[in-house]
A and B are shown apart, each in its own frame.
Chain A
Amino acid sequence: MTKYIIRRLLQTIPVLIGVTILVFSLMHLVPGDPAQIVAGEGASEQTVENIRERLGLNESIPVQYGNFLGNAVQGDLGSSIRSGRPVMEEIASRFWVTFELAFYSTILAVFLGLIAGIVSAVRHYTLADTSIMIVALFGLSMPNFWFGLLLIQWFAIGNWMPESLEFLKMRPSGWGDSWRQIILPVVTLGTGGAAIIARMTRSSMLEVVGQDYIRTARAKGVSERLVTYRHALKNALIPVVTVVGLEFGGFLGGAVLTETIFAINGMGRLTIDAIRTRDFPVVQGTVLVISVIFVLVNLIVDISYRLLNKRIDLN
């Protein structure tokens, strides 16, 4: 197992290098002179020159990449053109916001998804199963931003909210430290995730329930309840773990729309703002950090899959 982890870690190195190359080339793939673009139209010759100097664009491309990589490894991603603060600092201040959102959303997704998936599988081909799967299909096909907007409409702006749910109303200040404000975005993200997990759990459970060892358990006199929870679920969860991990990774990197709708100052917002203002170092920084996180989440998912699935740990 240790051997596997080491091998897996080594394998991430080329992936990470690839990521840095991609991120680095972002700036150079844009048509035209990056410095000019950053400076904006109508900027003076001098400003453009300053920017070029600051971004190190005078060097040859390999040298630029070398500098970029060297700095990145030391945690230096340059500084924001807009605010002048180091990119790392900008990211750090936003990261935990996004992390919190992703974390709670994942918990909600797992909680709802598992229950729905198990009920669906145990009662398959009944009304309960069909209804759950229809709802899940809606959950899957409904874009997050649309659902988020609906929620805002209902709870934050709409007048048809019952008194008792009054506390859910969005504060005008946007993201604060109150747990109340986290609920709507978490519901937005979490229910979408729950739909995926529910479908995965259901199909995985149905597959497992048909296996020979389930029949063996029944032949031992194990009750239906225990057959489901002790024998089937543990096996069925193995592929679900992968989905949960990837979802968490996805929430960390891809909650851009949800963050925008709910005015949350997370990583997604940061990226969007940076793109809008052509703040290249920040764009590079966020994309890099998100990619690295994704690679790491993947790694953890793979390793836990191995830990759970004894069968593939053969050599």
Chain B
Amino acid sequence: MSVPEIILEVKNLKTSFATDSGEVRAVDGVSFKLPKGQTIGIVGESGSGKSITSLSILRLLASNGKIKEGEVLYKGQDLLKFSEDQMRKLRGNEISMIFQEPMTSLNPVYTVGQQIGEALMLHQNMSKKEAHIRSVELLKLVGIPSPDKRVKNYPFELSGGMRQRVMIAMSLACDPEILIADEPTTALDVTIQAQILELIKELQDRLGMSVVFITHDLGVVAETCDYVAVMYAGQVVEYADIRSLFHYPKLPYTIGLLKSLPRHDIEQDKLEPIKGNVPSPHDMPVGCRFSPRCPAATDLCRAKMPQLETDEKGNQVRCWIYSEEWDGESEVNIYGETRIAKSRGTETVLPD
């Protein structure tokens, strides 16, 4: 297998917000790689920094936000060093984005066609007329019925699912290399979610885009992604290919997350919840951020922050268990599963 080209790599990204109650380190150590043509999922609970990560990549932060550290390498170039003008040429053109809220993400006073056409006129120097024709084609591409009529609609005239389709059409207008989708289906019903997921997958195959898919739904990740970065309290805590993550999760947090997920496809006796709450951004634990809730935590965990360590498959985990410094048992029991300490790679998990 040839090494796939990495189209996007985020290295140790840190983003903070200045607020009245002090600095909020919303993103505090995010790293992941996205191979060309593939999909990476970013999962995590509410407030873990998923959206801020994606906004940081495109440098679209609110005015009180600032990227403190790190690199965002797009085709090998650091976007954080780009001028505002260079960024503008990239946004909506080579890297585009769809947002969580289809109901509010479209401008209410312009027609759907005007909004799709805007990017075309901006990046591809199309005339108004060409842009209009292309907008109709794009609406057709995303499966909107009678696109020639819908193109003249205002957003309020469309349902949530249709608006999300419009958002997708808009983001695809300039054939982007990367599509960043921030919870594109969270606000939608499952049957509509199924339509949108299918659509994104189909378009990806057809257009060869790479996708960053942000969600808090592990089911959606399993179904759409090739790689996953799990976020907890502003950090990427585990990064793995999809099968490793779901079959051999290493990090206690990931194991706990999978164990606490009620499933509709199999019968489970009891859920195994993670104790306690997510730490407040103003009061982060000094050591591992998960240590106050982790069933395996030791003194080391509570005192020192672990770093992301890479294993032989290129998967990463931020946990002391797998480091040489580990000070606990050699076989660690986590939510009913056993992991071998100080191990790298697949031998982490005992064979059945």
Residues of A within 8 A of B (CB): 211-213, 215-223, 231, 234-235, 308-311, 314
Contacts and interface: CB of A to CB of B under 8 A. Distances in A.
A236 to B, nearest CB: 10
B30 interface: no
A295 B58 CA distance: 50
Given A235-B107, A311-B156, A215 B99 contact: yes
Given A219-B97, A220-B91, A220-B96, A235 B108 contact: yes
Contacts of A308: 109
Interface in B284-317: none
B119 A221 contact: yes
Nearest to A235: B109
A310 B60 contact: no
Place the interface of chain B in its size category.
20 to 34
Contacts of A311: 108, 154, 156
B106 A213 contact: yes
B101 A212 contact: yes
Given A212-B99, A310-B154, A220 B92 contact: yes
Contacts of B93: 221
Interface in B64-94: 88-93
A222 B97 CA distance: 13
Contacts of B101: 212
Contacts, number: 67
B272 interface: no
Which 4 A-B pairs rank lowest in CB-CB distance, beginning with the nearest? Answer: A220-B92, A221-B91, A221-B92, A212-B104
A221 B88 contact: yes
A234 B105 CA distance: 16
Contacts of A221: 88-93, 119, 122-123
Contacts of B105: 212-213, 215-216
A310 B156 contact: yes
B118 interface: yes
Given A219-B92, A235-B108, 12 more contacts: A212-B99, A220-B96, A220-B119, A221-B91, A221-B93, A222-B118, A235-B109, A308-B109, A309-B108, A310-B109, A311-B154, A311-B156
Contacts of B123: 221
A233 to B, nearest CB: 10
Contacts of B122: 220-222
Interface of B: 58, 60, 88-93, 96-97, 99, 101, 104-110, 118-119, 122-123, 154, 156, 167, 170
Nearest to B157: A310
Nearest to A308: B109
A192 to B, nearest CB: 29
Nearest to B173: A220
Nearest to B180: A219
27 contacts: A211-B104, A212-B101, A212-B105, A213-B107, A213-B108, A215-B60, A216-B99, A216-B107, A217-B118, A218-B60, A219-B92, A219-B96, A220-B96, A220-B122, A221-B88, A221-B90, A221-B91, A221-B93, A221-B123, A222-B92, A222-B118, A223-B88, A231-B107, A234-B109, A235-B109, A309-B108, A314-B156
A217 B97 CA distance: 10
A123 to B, nearest CB: 11
A216 B154 contact: no
Contacts of A212: 99, 101, 104-105
A90 B105 CA distance: 55
B106 A216 contact: yes
A95 B4 CA distance: 79
Contacts of A219: 58, 60, 91-92, 96-97, 99
Nearest to A233: B109
Contacts of B110: 234
Nearest to A211: B104
Contacts of B104: 211-213
A221 to B, nearest CB: 4
The winner among A212, A220, A314 for most chain B CB atoms within 10 A is A220
A171 B93 CA distance: 63
